[in-house]
Amino acid sequence: MVAVDEYSKTVSSVAKSVTPHVASVRLDNGSGSAVVFENGRLLTNAHVVGTARRGTATFADGSDATFEVVGVDPLSDLAVLSARGEIPPPATLGNADELEVGQLVVAVGNPLGLNGSVTAGVVSALGRALPVRQGKAGRVIEDVIQTDAALNPGNSGGALADSDGRVVGINTAVAGFGLGLAVPVNVTTMRIVQTLISDGRVRRAYLGLVSMPAPLPDDVAARTGQKAGLRVVEVVTGSPAHRAGLHSGDLVLTVGRKQVSDAQGIQKQLFADAIGTELPVTVLRGGAMVDVFATPTELSVR
Catalytic residues: 47, 77, 156
Alpha-carbon torsion, ordered 165, 35, 94, 201, to 10 deg: 180
Nearest one of 180, 194, 207 to 76, comparing CA atoms: 194
Nearest one of 50, 12, 18, 16 to 32, comparing CA atoms: 50
CB-hemisphere CA count at 13 Å for 296?
25
Nearest one of 42, 47, 39, 29 to 70, comparing CA atoms: 42
CA 207 to chain centre: 20
Nearest one of 183, 190, 97 to 146, comparing CA atoms: 183
